[in-house]
């Protein structure tokens, strides 16, 4: 079943309000944000692990990247608390689960086939620098190549923030809130903007911490 599979359309999903769906594994539920139904599903989703739940060991043929939103995620590479950003490239494998339970934002099958770069980072331990082109923005770069850039961004309170979406962009709010057009995104709010677009957000007194991925939709 396709979900938001038209990548020429702007999409906004309020992840914290979507119903949970069962997954093939007991204790693991998900909220689909987008999905392309194919032999190798391209999917963006929010996944919740009940305490003590896990998936069987498996290989990620198309790679995966995820952010830990709540709790602690566990796999062969370590224990990943809130704020962790993990990028596991194509052909990597692991046995994911969570002893205390967790919620993650995850993307599957969206890497270049020859990508072999791992990233293990946590936003609470990363440095950040001012964006010289945008007032009120601090950034922590997570990954960048000729296909895409991925970073955590810290948007100041009561500001107007531009996001270059010429190559397409995704924005996930982690803390605070940000408004784009008539849509206000709170934590777990997600926006996907098509190629050839530009985005202008406004923040309120809380400011916002967001995850931003740009450029990748040129390769859909």
| CATH code for position 153 | 2.60.120.10
Per the domain annotation, does 102 fall within a domain? Answer: yes
Per the domain annotation, does 2 fall within a domain? Answer: no
Angle at Cα 97 formed by Cα 52 and Cα 44, nearest 5°? 130
Residues 176-203: tens digit of each pLDDT:
999 999 999 999 999 999 999 999 999 9
User: In whole angstroms, what is the distance from residue 40 CA to residue 60 CA?
Assistant: 10
Per the domain annotation, does 95 fall within a domain? Answer: yes
Whether residue 142 is found in the same domain as residue 194: yes
User: In whole angstroms, what is the distance from residue 213 CA to residue 186 CA?
Assistant: 18
Taking the model in full, what pTM does it have?
0.96
Give the pLDDT mean for 209-218: 97
CB atoms within 10 A of CB 24: 7
The tally of domains found in the chain comes to 2
What residues make up the domain containing 213?
Answer: 129-219
Residues 62-117: tens digit of each pLDDT:
889 999 999 999 999 899 999 999 999 988 889 999 999 999 999 999 888 889 99
Give the pLDDT mean for 208-212: 98
User: In whole angstroms, what is the distance from residue 175 CA to residue 69 CA?
Assistant: 10
Residues 31-75: tens digit of each pLDDT:
999 999 876 779 999 999 999 998 888 888 888 999 999 999 999
Whether residue 37 is found in the same domain as residue 116: yes
């Amino acid at each position: 079943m396709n979900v938001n599979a038209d990548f020429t359309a702007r999409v906004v999903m309020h992840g914290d309000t979507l119903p949970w769906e069962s997954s093939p594994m007991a204790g693991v539920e998900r909220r689909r944000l987008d999905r392309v139904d194919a032999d190798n599903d391209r999917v963006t989703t929010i996944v919740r692990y009940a305490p003590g739940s896990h998936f069987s060991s498996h290989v990620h043929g198309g790679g995966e990247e995820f952010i830990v939103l709540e709790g602690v995620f566990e796999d062969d590479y370590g224990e990943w608390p809130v704020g962790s950003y993990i990028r596991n490239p194509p052909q990597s494998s692991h046995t994911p689960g969570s002893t205390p339970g967790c919620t993650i934002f995850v993307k599957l099958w969206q890497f270049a086939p020859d990508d072999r770069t791992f990233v293990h980072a946590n936003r609470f331990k990363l440095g950040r620098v001012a964006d010289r082109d945008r007032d009120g923005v601090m950034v922590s770069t997570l990954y960048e190549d000729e296909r895409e850039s991925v970073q955590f961004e810290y948007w100041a309170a009561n500001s107007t923030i531009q996001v270059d979406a010429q190559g397409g962009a995704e924005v996930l709010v982690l803390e605070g809130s940000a408004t784009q057009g008539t849509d206000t995104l709170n934590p777990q709010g997600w926006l996907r903007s098509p190629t050839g677009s530009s985005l202008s957000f406004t923040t309120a007194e809380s400011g916002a911490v967001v995850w931003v991925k740009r450029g990748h939709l040129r390769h859909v």
